[in-house]
Chains A and B, each alone.
Chain A
């Protein structure tokens, strides 16, 4: 992997996060490089999804949640409301969830929803965006003849790719994925994993996964979290072959968790 031309797109600096009195993230510090896949691993409740939800400020929706420290995306503090508009942030940072959440509308409208919200009105332009997004998500050939059918009629794996296409439609820079294949069969999982490899050419991907083989297969770097701390962050091959942190070693080799 040649890192010489890559730059950090996300910089996490001294991030502490509290849900009321409970501290969910403790002094987390690290950089995520652009056009790489970064995997977050760790046992349930370790803070990996919490950190993921910080990146598009979904965390704002949780009452009593306080964040200290800084998260810079493209060198701008995402919590600095004067410099960062949250709608703009969520356009730049798309998200795909554990369960596919296609909207109860046509495949076409699922994809066009975001661009329309951002003011795209021309049919021809929307058609282009819909096709382009579905092509990038590897779904075009399967749905091109039924764009007006409901997105909910697709299989689970197809719906998840529809959600990825929907995220791509607003031209994000970063795609957050929260266990995107945990509800899918192995074939659909394989398709999504291959898709991630392709998307990496143009987007930065941050993926939370409980499937460590998946992290090994697709990610460039892996971060291991435990009890709100990020204990190890390293190139994936290194972390899974020779982890430096004993707790990380114990977790990935199944001694706990």
Chain B
């Protein structure tokens, strides 16, 4: 394998992943801002990012597949390329979850929020950081950072549990706000799924370094 050329191609791939991750972070941040500010325009902007995300995904896919075709990587190189391919699927799905959040928020823009929603921005900020960290852990081959992402998912899960209990109580106490409670619960579920996707990425980053995925040898 022509090592220098391979290194260059890998660096370009890393740069594109960082750029894609930055876009995804922005999408998560914007979707939550749209929720707190009840901003319909911002919702529509988040939804419109779909094409940009798909272009990033297609470009990275194309680069990774070309590397496989031309360099026929093995060992850690093969693990790195396959991890990049797995990552972009999760990143694309994260963007999809953020879009789904905005589609819900559009229904809520003209309503007065009854429940306080401080848990949702908290979950959003954590997931945004998870996305940043998991892509960074890949680029820097930093297993501690990947482990941190996996741990953060537990915090997200417990916040979602808290949200769930709060919303159930609201439905019981003030049934007229049941629809809002359900919408917020759905937003929380989407954020929780974003956490799961970031955790998936972190697991693949661990594979990329160790050759084991969730402690199981794939090859």
Chain A residues with CB under 8 Å of chain B are: 212-213, 216, 237-238, 240-243, 249, 252-255
A-B contact pairs, 14 of them (CB 8 A): A237-B219, A240-B78, A241-B74, A241-B75, A241-B211, A241-B219, A242-B79, A242-B211, A242-B219, A243-B75, A249-B76, A252-B74, A253-B73, A254-B2
Residue of A nearest to B217 (CB): A242
Residue of A nearest to B77 (CB): A253
Chain B residue numbers with a CB within 8 Å of A237 are: 219
Would A253 and B74 count as touching, CB distance under 8 A?
yes
The number of residues on chain B lying at the interface, defined by a beta carbon within 8 Å of a beta carbon of chain A, is 17
- State how many angstroms separate the Cβ of A251 from the closest Cβ of chain B: 10
**Given A241-B79, A241-B219, A242-B219, A212:B74 Cβ within 8 A:** yes
On B, residues with C-beta under 8 Å from A are 1-3, 6, 72-79, 210-211, 217-219
Determine the chain A residues whose CB is within 8 A of the CB of B2 once the complex forms.
Answer: 254
Q: Assuming A237-B219, A242-B217, A242-B219, is B3 touching A255 (CB within 8 A)?
A: yes
What is the CA–CA distance of A140 and B25 in the complex, to the nearest angstrom? 64
Main secondary structure of the interface of A (DSSP, over half): helix
Give the shortest distance, in Å, between B11 (CB) and chain A (any CB). Answer: 16
A67 to chain B minimum Cβ distance, whole angstroms, is 32
A240→B72 CA distance, assembly (Å): 11
A242 to B74, CA, bound (A): 9
A253 touches B1 (CB 8 A): yes
Closest to A235 in B: B219
Q: Are B78 and A241 in contact (CB under 8 A)?
A: yes
CA distance A238 to B1 in the complex (A): 19
6 smallest CB-CB distances across A and B, nearest first, come from A254-B1, A242-B211, A241-B219, A240-B74, A254-B3, A237-B219
B9 to chain A, nearest CB (A): 13
Known: A238-B219, A242-B75, A253-B77. 16 other contacts (CB 8 A): A212-B74, A213-B72, A240-B74, A240-B75, A241-B74, A241-B79, A241-B218, A242-B210, A242-B217, A243-B75, A252-B74, A253-B1, A253-B74, A254-B3, A254-B6, A255-B3
